[in-house]
Amino acid sequence: MKRNKLPNNTQQYIQEQKKQNLKDKDKVIIIRTAESYKNGWYNNWTPKMTKFVGQTGTVITRLEDYGVCVEFPGPHIAYFPYFVLRKVQ
């Protein structure tokens, strides 16, 4: 898949996502929506993702600037930016 040039703040996004230290099988709650392609996140927010706000899912993987892949019962998966996730203890 050919990608457009990455935004200037993408490297900062990648570093901040790594600092969250989310691992596979971690439980996370989606705390809010996000704007597409903002703050270095190289992905778009879809209406499907909005229905998961307030719900808890399981981290499957992370893809640098593309986000954190979270699975919900169904199964449903989506890539969320790290800054809308809160780890559930």
Distances (CA, A) of 76 to 10, 32, 64, 73: 26, 18, 21, 6
Q: In the 8-state DSSP scheme, what is residue 7?
A: P
Residues 3-54: pLDDT tens digits?
Answer: 555 556 888 888 999 999 999 999 999 999 999 988 889 899 999 999 999 9
Q: Which fold has domain 23-87?
A: SH3 type barrels. (2.30.30)
Which ranges of 2-85 does DSSP label H, i.e. alpha helix?
A: 10-19, 47-50
pLDDT at 85: 98
Question: Which residues have CB under 8 Å from 82's CB, separation 6+?
Answer: 13, 16, 17, 20, 22, 67, 68
Residues 59-87: pLDDT tens digits?
Answer: 999 998 899 999 999 889 999 999 999 99
Which tokens in the block code for residue 83? 């800054």
What is the value of pTM for the model shown? 0.88
pLDDT at 1: 47
